[in-house]
Amino acid sequence: MRNYRKFEVWKKSHELALKVYELTKSFPKEEIYGITSQLRRASLICRTKIMKI
């Protein structure tokens, strides 16, 4: 298995995921299962796909 963490694209997607999580902390609590969840899952999918390459 390759070390995916050395790839710049993985690093950028990791930064994006961290920023999305930080940003969505301030979203209304009633959105935790709506837009908050969708944004968080979408940001993680990028990293996951890169890890599988």
pLDDT of residue 53: 74
Q: 1-53, pLDDT tens digit by residue? A: 578 888 899 999 999 999 999 999 999 999 999 999 999 999 999 888 888 87
Domain edges within the chain = 4-51
Closest CA to 49 of 13, 6, 16: 13
CB atoms under 10 Å from CB of 33, counted, come to 9
CA distance 22 to 2: 29
Q: Specify the DSSP class assigned to residue 7.
A: S
For residues 20-32, b (16+ Cβ closer than 10 Å) or e, as one string?
Answer: beeebeeeeeeee
pLDDT of residue 29: 93
User: pTM value?
Assistant: 0.81
**Half-sphere exposure of 2 toward its Cβ, with a 13 Å CA cutoff?**
9
